[in-house]
Amino acid sequence: MRTLVLLLLMLAPAAADAQTLSVRGFGEGEVFWFPQEVPADPTRLIGHFLGRGEVFYKPAPVIQFAGGLDLRANSHDQVEAGWRLDYGDRGAERPRLSVRRLSATYTKSRLTVDGGKQFIRWGKTDIVTPTDRFAPRDFLNVINGEFLAVTAVRAVIQLRDDAFDGVWAPRFTPSRTPLLDQRWSGIPPNAVQVPVDGGATMPTGSQFGIRWSHLGAAAEYSLSYFDGFNHLPLIRSSVDIEAPAVVVTRLYPAIRTYGGDLAAPTPWFTIKGEAAFFESSSNDVPPDERSDDYVLFVAQLERQSGEWTFVGGYAGEIVVRSRSSLPFAPDRGLSHAFLGRAAYTLDPNRSVALEGAVRENGRGVYTRGEYSQAHGQHWRTTVAAAVIGGETDDFLGQYRRNSYMSATLRYSY
Protein backbone atom coordinates (compact mmCIF):
# COMPACT_ATOMS: atom_id res chain seq x y z
CA MET A 1 0.00 0.00 0.00
CA ARG A 2 2.82 2.38 0.94
CA THR A 3 4.53 1.65 -2.37
CA LEU A 4 1.40 2.56 -4.27
CA VAL A 5 1.04 5.85 -2.45
CA LEU A 6 4.68 6.71 -3.08
CA LEU A 7 4.33 5.86 -6.73
CA LEU A 8 1.24 8.01 -6.94
CA LEU A 9 3.00 10.97 -5.33
CA MET A 10 6.05 10.59 -7.54
CA LEU A 11 4.02 10.54 -10.71
CA ALA A 12 1.65 13.32 -9.76
CA PRO A 13 3.82 16.30 -10.66
CA ALA A 14 5.35 14.60 -13.67
CA ALA A 15 2.37 14.92 -15.93
CA ALA A 16 0.11 17.54 -14.55
CA ASP A 17 -1.56 18.15 -17.90
CA ALA A 18 -2.85 14.63 -18.11
CA GLN A 19 -4.02 14.35 -14.55
CA THR A 20 -7.58 13.35 -13.93
CA LEU A 21 -9.17 12.74 -10.59
CA SER A 22 -12.58 11.19 -10.14
CA VAL A 23 -14.36 10.62 -6.86
CA ARG A 24 -17.60 8.82 -6.25
CA GLY A 25 -19.41 7.06 -3.47
CA PHE A 26 -22.53 6.89 -1.39
CA GLY A 27 -23.96 6.58 2.07
CA GLU A 28 -26.76 4.08 2.44
CA GLY A 29 -29.09 3.12 5.23
CA GLU A 30 -31.09 -0.07 4.88
CA VAL A 31 -33.72 -1.66 7.08
CA PHE A 32 -34.86 -5.29 6.80
CA TRP A 33 -38.03 -6.57 8.41
CA PHE A 34 -38.60 -10.31 8.60
CA PRO A 35 -42.17 -11.26 9.48
CA GLN A 36 -41.10 -14.64 10.88
CA GLU A 37 -38.64 -15.66 13.54
CA VAL A 38 -36.27 -18.56 13.12
CA PRO A 39 -35.20 -20.72 16.09
CA ALA A 40 -31.56 -19.67 15.85
CA ASP A 41 -32.32 -16.00 15.39
CA PRO A 42 -35.42 -14.29 16.82
CA THR A 43 -34.36 -10.87 15.56
CA ARG A 44 -36.81 -9.61 12.96
CA LEU A 45 -35.71 -6.03 12.40
CA ILE A 46 -32.17 -5.30 11.19
CA GLY A 47 -30.63 -1.97 10.32
CA HIS A 48 -27.50 -1.55 8.24
CA PHE A 49 -25.36 1.37 7.18
CA LEU A 50 -22.76 1.39 4.43
CA GLY A 51 -20.61 4.36 3.51
CA ARG A 52 -18.46 3.97 0.42
CA GLY A 53 -15.87 6.25 -1.11
CA GLU A 54 -13.82 5.55 -4.24
CA VAL A 55 -11.09 7.60 -5.86
CA PHE A 56 -9.68 7.14 -9.36
CA TYR A 57 -6.54 9.07 -10.18
CA LYS A 58 -4.78 9.14 -13.53
CA PRO A 59 -1.47 10.96 -13.16
CA ALA A 60 -0.29 10.00 -16.64
CA PRO A 61 -1.94 8.54 -19.75
CA VAL A 62 -0.42 5.11 -19.15
CA ILE A 63 -1.19 4.68 -15.47
CA GLN A 64 -4.16 4.93 -13.18
CA PHE A 65 -4.71 4.31 -9.49
CA ALA A 66 -7.96 3.24 -7.89
CA GLY A 67 -8.75 3.19 -4.20
CA GLY A 68 -11.89 2.69 -2.19
CA LEU A 69 -12.97 2.39 1.42
CA ASP A 70 -16.12 0.96 3.00
CA LEU A 71 -17.45 1.96 6.40
CA ARG A 72 -20.16 -0.20 7.95
CA ALA A 73 -22.45 -0.38 10.95
CA ASN A 74 -25.12 -2.95 11.74
CA SER A 75 -27.72 -3.45 14.44
CA HIS A 76 -27.40 -7.24 14.47
CA ASP A 77 -23.71 -8.01 14.98
CA GLN A 78 -22.99 -8.56 11.30
CA VAL A 79 -20.14 -6.07 11.54
CA GLU A 80 -17.00 -6.57 13.60
CA ALA A 81 -17.05 -4.74 16.90
CA GLY A 82 -13.48 -3.50 16.77
CA TRP A 83 -11.98 -0.74 14.68
CA ARG A 84 -9.27 -1.77 12.25
CA LEU A 85 -8.59 -1.24 8.58
CA ASP A 86 -9.28 -4.58 6.93
CA TYR A 87 -7.72 -5.51 3.61
CA GLY A 88 -8.19 -9.25 3.17
CA ASP A 89 -11.97 -9.68 3.59
CA ARG A 90 -11.40 -12.94 5.42
CA GLY A 91 -13.36 -12.34 8.59
CA ALA A 92 -16.62 -14.12 9.40
CA GLU A 93 -18.28 -10.77 10.03
CA ARG A 94 -18.07 -7.75 7.78
CA PRO A 95 -15.28 -5.40 8.73
CA ARG A 96 -16.24 -2.03 10.13
CA LEU A 97 -13.68 -0.26 7.96
CA SER A 98 -12.24 -2.00 4.93
CA VAL A 99 -10.33 -1.45 1.72
CA ARG A 100 -12.84 -2.06 -1.04
CA ARG A 101 -10.27 -1.72 -3.81
CA LEU A 102 -6.67 -0.57 -4.15
CA SER A 103 -5.05 -1.09 -7.50
CA ALA A 104 -2.78 0.36 -10.13
CA THR A 105 -3.42 0.01 -13.85
CA TYR A 106 -0.73 0.28 -16.48
CA THR A 107 -1.77 0.61 -20.11
CA LYS A 108 0.55 0.54 -23.07
CA SER A 109 -0.75 -0.01 -26.54
CA ARG A 110 -2.64 -3.34 -26.52
CA LEU A 111 -1.54 -4.34 -23.03
CA THR A 112 -3.32 -3.55 -19.79
CA VAL A 113 -1.93 -4.69 -16.45
CA ASP A 114 -3.86 -4.31 -13.20
CA GLY A 115 -2.18 -5.01 -9.89
CA GLY A 116 -3.69 -4.91 -6.42
CA LYS A 117 -7.10 -5.42 -4.93
CA GLN A 118 -9.54 -5.36 -7.80
CA PHE A 119 -12.78 -6.76 -9.17
CA ILE A 120 -12.52 -9.41 -11.88
CA ARG A 121 -15.66 -10.57 -13.61
CA TRP A 122 -15.47 -13.21 -16.28
CA GLY A 123 -19.04 -14.43 -16.37
CA LYS A 124 -21.52 -13.38 -19.03
CA THR A 125 -24.78 -14.66 -17.59
CA ASP A 126 -26.81 -13.37 -14.67
CA ILE A 127 -27.58 -14.75 -11.21
CA VAL A 128 -25.35 -17.82 -11.69
CA THR A 129 -21.98 -17.34 -13.42
CA PRO A 130 -19.97 -20.59 -13.48
CA THR A 131 -16.81 -19.06 -14.97
CA ASP A 132 -16.56 -16.24 -12.42
CA ARG A 133 -13.72 -17.83 -10.47
CA PHE A 134 -12.18 -14.61 -9.19
CA ALA A 135 -15.45 -13.18 -7.90
CA PRO A 136 -16.13 -14.14 -4.28
CA ARG A 137 -19.24 -12.70 -2.66
CA ASP A 138 -20.55 -11.63 0.70
CA PHE A 139 -23.29 -14.14 1.55
CA LEU A 140 -24.27 -12.91 5.00
CA ASN A 141 -27.55 -12.39 3.20
CA VAL A 142 -27.59 -15.38 0.86
CA ILE A 143 -29.89 -13.97 -1.80
CA ASN A 144 -28.42 -10.48 -1.80
CA GLY A 145 -24.68 -11.03 -1.90
CA GLU A 146 -22.33 -8.26 -2.99
CA PHE A 147 -19.11 -9.07 -4.86
CA LEU A 148 -15.76 -8.81 -3.13
CA ALA A 149 -12.50 -7.73 -4.71
CA VAL A 150 -9.52 -10.07 -4.97
CA THR A 151 -5.81 -9.37 -4.68
CA ALA A 152 -4.31 -10.23 -8.02
CA VAL A 153 -2.23 -9.26 -10.98
CA ARG A 154 -4.18 -9.25 -14.22
CA ALA A 155 -2.77 -8.77 -17.69
CA VAL A 156 -4.97 -8.36 -20.75
CA ILE A 157 -3.78 -8.18 -24.32
CA GLN A 158 -6.47 -6.80 -26.55
CA LEU A 159 -5.99 -7.55 -30.21
CA ARG A 160 -8.49 -6.50 -32.83
CA ASP A 161 -11.28 -8.94 -32.02
CA ASP A 162 -9.54 -11.17 -29.51
CA ALA A 163 -8.49 -10.65 -25.92
CA PHE A 164 -6.14 -12.78 -23.86
CA ASP A 165 -6.62 -12.43 -20.14
CA GLY A 166 -4.27 -13.84 -17.51
CA VAL A 167 -4.80 -13.59 -13.76
CA TRP A 168 -2.49 -14.56 -10.93
CA ALA A 169 -3.83 -14.22 -7.41
CA PRO A 170 -1.18 -14.74 -4.73
CA ARG A 171 -3.60 -14.36 -1.85
CA PHE A 172 -6.92 -16.15 -1.53
CA THR A 173 -10.14 -14.23 -0.87
CA PRO A 174 -13.08 -16.39 0.26
CA SER A 175 -16.77 -15.73 -0.04
CA ARG A 176 -18.24 -14.67 3.28
CA THR A 177 -20.67 -17.29 4.57
CA PRO A 178 -23.76 -16.74 6.72
CA LEU A 179 -23.19 -16.30 10.44
CA LEU A 180 -24.11 -19.49 12.25
CA ASP A 181 -26.27 -17.81 14.88
CA GLN A 182 -28.25 -15.84 12.34
CA ARG A 183 -31.19 -16.66 10.10
CA TRP A 184 -29.30 -17.15 6.83
CA SER A 185 -27.26 -20.03 8.28
CA GLY A 186 -30.11 -22.37 7.43
CA ILE A 187 -29.80 -24.25 10.74
CA PRO A 188 -32.73 -26.70 10.79
CA PRO A 189 -35.54 -25.67 13.16
CA ASN A 190 -35.20 -28.95 15.07
CA ALA A 191 -31.51 -28.42 15.80
CA VAL A 192 -30.83 -28.88 19.50
CA GLN A 193 -28.07 -26.34 19.60
CA VAL A 194 -26.60 -23.69 17.33
CA PRO A 195 -23.16 -24.83 16.19
CA VAL A 196 -20.05 -22.96 17.16
CA ASP A 197 -17.95 -21.31 14.45
CA GLY A 198 -14.57 -23.03 14.47
CA GLY A 199 -13.13 -20.68 11.86
CA ALA A 200 -11.70 -21.36 8.43
CA THR A 201 -8.62 -22.98 7.00
CA MET A 202 -7.34 -20.61 4.37
CA PRO A 203 -5.40 -21.98 1.40
CA THR A 204 -1.86 -20.73 1.22
CA GLY A 205 -1.14 -21.30 -2.45
CA SER A 206 -1.71 -18.93 -5.30
CA GLN A 207 -4.37 -19.10 -8.00
CA PHE A 208 -4.09 -18.77 -11.71
CA GLY A 209 -6.49 -18.34 -14.58
CA ILE A 210 -6.43 -17.59 -18.28
CA ARG A 211 -9.20 -16.62 -20.63
CA TRP A 212 -9.44 -16.10 -24.35
CA SER A 213 -12.38 -14.18 -25.69
CA HIS A 214 -13.44 -13.32 -29.20
CA LEU A 215 -15.77 -10.59 -30.37
CA GLY A 216 -17.46 -11.60 -33.58
CA ALA A 217 -20.10 -9.89 -35.63
CA ALA A 218 -22.60 -12.67 -34.95
CA ALA A 219 -21.53 -13.68 -31.46
CA GLU A 220 -18.96 -13.23 -28.78
CA TYR A 221 -17.55 -16.17 -26.89
CA SER A 222 -14.72 -17.18 -24.63
CA LEU A 223 -12.87 -20.11 -23.15
CA SER A 224 -11.29 -20.06 -19.73
CA TYR A 225 -9.19 -22.18 -17.41
CA PHE A 226 -8.76 -21.78 -13.68
CA ASP A 227 -6.44 -23.52 -11.25
CA GLY A 228 -6.92 -22.51 -7.64
CA PHE A 229 -9.45 -22.80 -4.85
CA ASN A 230 -13.19 -22.58 -4.70
CA HIS A 231 -14.14 -19.37 -2.92
CA LEU A 232 -17.20 -21.23 -1.63
CA PRO A 233 -16.25 -23.52 1.26
CA LEU A 234 -16.83 -27.09 2.25
CA ILE A 235 -18.30 -27.40 5.72
CA ARG A 236 -16.84 -29.79 8.27
CA SER A 237 -18.41 -30.40 11.63
CA SER A 238 -17.02 -32.04 14.75
CA VAL A 239 -18.16 -32.45 18.33
CA ASP A 240 -16.38 -30.74 21.15
CA ILE A 241 -17.19 -33.06 24.03
CA GLU A 242 -15.92 -30.73 26.72
CA ALA A 243 -18.05 -27.75 25.65
CA PRO A 244 -20.20 -29.65 24.64
CA ALA A 245 -20.89 -28.21 21.21
CA VAL A 246 -20.89 -28.92 17.53
CA VAL A 247 -18.00 -27.05 15.95
CA VAL A 248 -18.25 -26.06 12.31
CA THR A 249 -15.19 -25.19 10.25
CA ARG A 250 -14.78 -24.07 6.67
CA LEU A 251 -12.19 -25.19 4.17
CA TYR A 252 -11.71 -24.23 0.58
CA PRO A 253 -11.04 -27.13 -1.77
CA ALA A 254 -8.48 -26.97 -4.54
CA ILE A 255 -10.19 -27.07 -7.92
CA ARG A 256 -9.59 -26.70 -11.60
CA THR A 257 -12.29 -25.41 -13.88
CA TYR A 258 -12.63 -25.45 -17.63
CA GLY A 259 -15.23 -22.99 -18.79
CA GLY A 260 -16.75 -21.17 -21.68
CA ASP A 261 -19.42 -18.66 -22.44
CA LEU A 262 -21.31 -17.40 -25.44
CA ALA A 263 -23.52 -14.42 -26.22
CA ALA A 264 -25.30 -14.44 -29.56
CA PRO A 265 -27.87 -11.85 -30.57
CA THR A 266 -30.75 -13.08 -32.71
CA PRO A 267 -33.58 -11.02 -34.20
CA TRP A 268 -35.72 -11.83 -31.17
CA PHE A 269 -33.46 -12.40 -28.19
CA THR A 270 -29.88 -12.39 -27.12
CA ILE A 271 -28.94 -15.95 -26.27
CA LYS A 272 -26.40 -16.31 -23.50
CA GLY A 273 -24.83 -19.48 -22.28
CA GLU A 274 -22.13 -20.23 -19.77
CA ALA A 275 -20.74 -23.52 -18.49
CA ALA A 276 -17.83 -24.76 -16.46
CA PHE A 277 -16.53 -28.16 -15.46
CA PHE A 278 -15.36 -28.16 -11.85
CA GLU A 279 -12.75 -30.77 -11.01
CA SER A 280 -11.12 -31.46 -7.67
CA SER A 281 -7.38 -30.97 -7.94
CA SER A 282 -6.30 -32.17 -4.52
CA ASN A 283 -5.64 -35.90 -4.47
CA ASP A 284 -3.86 -36.16 -1.14
CA VAL A 285 -6.69 -35.20 1.21
CA PRO A 286 -9.69 -37.14 2.55
CA PRO A 287 -12.78 -37.24 0.35
CA ASP A 288 -14.74 -34.92 2.63
CA GLU A 289 -12.10 -32.26 2.00
CA ARG A 290 -12.39 -32.62 -1.77
CA SER A 291 -14.89 -30.98 -4.02
CA ASP A 292 -17.30 -32.92 -6.19
CA ASP A 293 -16.57 -33.08 -9.89
CA TYR A 294 -19.46 -31.44 -11.70
CA VAL A 295 -20.61 -29.30 -14.58
CA LEU A 296 -22.53 -26.13 -13.87
CA PHE A 297 -24.28 -24.49 -16.79
CA VAL A 298 -26.68 -21.64 -17.50
CA ALA A 299 -28.69 -20.85 -20.63
CA GLN A 300 -30.67 -17.65 -20.77
CA LEU A 301 -32.55 -15.36 -23.11
CA GLU A 302 -32.40 -11.61 -22.84
CA ARG A 303 -34.52 -8.94 -24.45
CA GLN A 304 -35.22 -5.25 -24.12
CA SER A 305 -38.41 -3.93 -25.53
CA GLY A 306 -39.61 -0.40 -24.99
CA GLU A 307 -39.23 0.26 -21.29
CA TRP A 308 -39.05 -3.45 -20.48
CA THR A 309 -36.04 -5.62 -19.85
CA PHE A 310 -36.47 -9.37 -19.65
CA VAL A 311 -34.00 -12.06 -18.67
CA GLY A 312 -35.06 -15.67 -18.33
CA GLY A 313 -33.18 -18.90 -18.26
CA TYR A 314 -32.32 -22.22 -16.73
CA ALA A 315 -29.41 -23.21 -14.52
CA GLY A 316 -28.41 -26.84 -14.47
CA GLU A 317 -25.88 -29.13 -12.90
CA ILE A 318 -24.44 -32.50 -13.83
CA VAL A 319 -22.55 -34.22 -11.05
CA VAL A 320 -19.80 -36.33 -12.55
CA ARG A 321 -18.38 -37.59 -9.27
CA SER A 322 -19.94 -37.06 -5.90
CA ARG A 323 -17.87 -37.13 -2.74
CA SER A 324 -18.97 -37.05 0.87
CA SER A 325 -18.30 -33.38 1.20
CA LEU A 326 -20.81 -30.82 2.44
CA PRO A 327 -20.52 -27.64 0.40
CA PHE A 328 -21.92 -24.22 1.02
CA ALA A 329 -22.71 -23.51 -2.60
CA PRO A 330 -25.36 -20.95 -3.53
CA ASP A 331 -24.40 -21.35 -7.19
CA ARG A 332 -25.14 -25.07 -7.13
CA GLY A 333 -28.13 -24.39 -4.91
CA LEU A 334 -29.66 -22.32 -7.66
CA SER A 335 -29.15 -25.03 -10.26
CA HIS A 336 -31.97 -27.22 -11.54
CA ALA A 337 -33.94 -24.02 -11.46
CA PHE A 338 -35.64 -21.59 -13.78
CA LEU A 339 -34.44 -18.05 -13.24
CA GLY A 340 -35.94 -14.80 -14.43
CA ARG A 341 -35.97 -11.06 -14.08
CA ALA A 342 -38.20 -8.37 -15.53
CA ALA A 343 -37.68 -4.65 -15.10
CA TYR A 344 -39.78 -1.72 -16.25
CA THR A 345 -38.64 1.89 -16.39
CA LEU A 346 -41.56 4.09 -15.44
CA ASP A 347 -39.69 7.33 -16.20
CA PRO A 348 -36.13 8.62 -15.91
CA ASN A 349 -36.40 8.56 -12.12
CA ARG A 350 -38.55 5.55 -11.31
CA SER A 351 -38.35 1.83 -12.04
CA VAL A 352 -39.83 -1.44 -10.88
CA ALA A 353 -38.32 -4.90 -11.09
CA LEU A 354 -39.33 -8.45 -10.36
CA GLU A 355 -36.97 -11.41 -10.20
CA GLY A 356 -37.39 -14.99 -9.20
CA ALA A 357 -36.12 -18.54 -9.16
CA VAL A 358 -38.13 -21.75 -9.10
CA ARG A 359 -36.56 -25.15 -8.62
CA GLU A 360 -37.63 -27.56 -11.33
CA ASN A 361 -38.95 -30.02 -8.74
CA GLY A 362 -40.99 -27.26 -7.14
CA ARG A 363 -39.35 -27.70 -3.75
CA GLY A 364 -37.96 -24.19 -3.58
CA VAL A 365 -39.08 -20.81 -4.83
CA TYR A 366 -37.80 -17.28 -4.45
CA THR A 367 -39.28 -14.07 -5.78
CA ARG A 368 -38.42 -10.45 -5.11
CA GLY A 369 -40.12 -7.27 -6.21
CA GLU A 370 -38.58 -3.81 -6.06
CA TYR A 371 -39.62 -0.20 -6.58
CA SER A 372 -36.92 2.42 -6.84
CA GLN A 373 -37.17 6.18 -7.17
CA ALA A 374 -34.57 8.92 -7.49
CA HIS A 375 -35.13 12.25 -5.80
CA GLY A 376 -33.07 14.94 -7.45
CA GLN A 377 -29.42 14.39 -8.26
CA HIS A 378 -28.30 12.61 -5.09
CA TRP A 379 -31.05 10.74 -3.28
CA ARG A 380 -32.70 7.43 -4.08
CA THR A 381 -35.18 5.32 -2.14
CA THR A 382 -35.82 1.67 -2.82
CA VAL A 383 -38.43 -0.56 -1.26
CA ALA A 384 -38.43 -4.29 -1.85
CA ALA A 385 -40.17 -7.43 -0.74
CA ALA A 386 -38.91 -10.99 -1.09
CA VAL A 387 -40.90 -14.17 -0.68
CA ILE A 388 -39.09 -17.46 -0.16
CA GLY A 389 -40.80 -20.80 0.12
CA GLY A 390 -40.18 -24.50 -0.18
CA GLU A 391 -39.06 -27.60 1.67
CA THR A 392 -36.43 -27.68 4.39
CA ASP A 393 -34.14 -29.97 2.40
CA ASP A 394 -34.04 -27.60 -0.57
CA PHE A 395 -31.43 -24.86 -0.88
CA LEU A 396 -34.04 -22.16 -1.36
CA GLY A 397 -36.65 -23.85 0.80
CA GLN A 398 -34.39 -23.88 3.87
CA TYR A 399 -34.79 -20.09 3.96
CA ARG A 400 -38.58 -20.21 3.81
CA ARG A 401 -38.85 -18.23 7.06
CA ASN A 402 -36.60 -15.50 5.68
CA SER A 403 -39.11 -13.69 3.49
CA TYR A 404 -38.60 -10.00 4.12
CA MET A 405 -39.39 -6.43 3.30
CA SER A 406 -36.69 -3.81 3.04
CA ALA A 407 -36.35 -0.07 2.62
CA THR A 408 -33.18 1.66 1.48
CA LEU A 409 -32.24 5.30 1.42
CA ARG A 410 -29.07 6.20 -0.48
CA TYR A 411 -27.22 9.46 -0.92
CA SER A 412 -24.75 9.33 -3.82
CA TYR A 413 -21.98 11.84 -4.45
Partner 1 sequence: MSKRRRLSAAAFLWLPVGVVVSSHVAGGVTAQAADDARTIVEEAQRRTDAKSQRYEGLLQVFDARGRISDKRWTFERLGSHGQSRAVLRFVAPPEVKGVALLVVNHPDRASDQWMWTPAIERDRRIALQDRSTRFFGTDFSFEDLEERDVNQFDYVLAGEEPIDGFVCWKIQSTPRRTKSSQYTRSIVWIRKDTYALARIENYQKDKLVRRLDYSDIQNVQGIWTARRMEMADLTRGSRTRLTLDRLQYNLPLKEEDFTLQAIRRQ
Contact 69, 87 (CB under 8 A): no
CB closer to partner 1 out of 183 and 272: 272
Q: Which is nearer to partner 1, 137 or 323 (CB)?
A: 137
- Return the number of the residue (216 or 287) whose C-beta is nearest partner 1: 216
Nearer to partner 1, 26 or 200 (CB): 26
- Compute the least distance from the CB of residue 109 to partner 1, in Å: 6
Choice between 33 and 413, CB closer to partner 1: 413
Degrees, nearest 5: CA angle 229-235-238: 135
Q: Cα separation of 214 and 221, whole Å?
A: 6
212 vs 282, beta carbon nearer partner 1: 212
**Rounded to the nearest whole angstrom, what is the least distance from the CB of residue 184 to partner 1 in the complex?**
22
8 A C-beta contact, residue 326 and residue 195: no
Whether 212 contacts 122, CB under 8 Å: no
In angstroms, what CA-CA distances link 187 with 155, 179, 408?
42, 10, 28
- The minimum distance between CB 50 and partner 1, in angstroms, equals 13
Instruction: Please confirm whether the linkage preceding 348 is cis (ω < 30° from 0).
Output: no
Cβ atoms of residues 245 and 196 within 8 Å: yes
Which of 238, 364, 232, 205 minimizes the C-alpha distance to 292? 232
CB of 173 to partner 1, least distance (A): 14
Whole-angstrom distance, CA of residue 362 vs CA of residue 394: 10
Whether the Cβ atoms of residue 154 and residue 66 lie closer than 8 Å to each other: no
DSSP annotation of 96 reads S
**Cβ-based nearer residue to partner 1, 307 or 393:** 307
Considering the complex, what minimum distance in angstroms separates the CB of residue 377 from partner 1?
Answer: 4
What is the closest distance, in whole angstroms, from the C-beta atom of residue 188 to partner 1 in the complex? 34
* Percent helix, percent strand, percent coil in the chain, to nearest 5: 5, 55, 35
Interface residues with partner 1 (CB under 8 A)?
22, 24, 26, 54, 56, 61, 64, 66, 105, 107-110, 112, 119, 121, 123, 147, 156, 158, 163, 215, 217, 220, 263, 265-270, 302-307, 345, 347-349, 374, 377-378, 380, 410, 412-413
Min separation Cβ 6 and partner 1, Å: 22
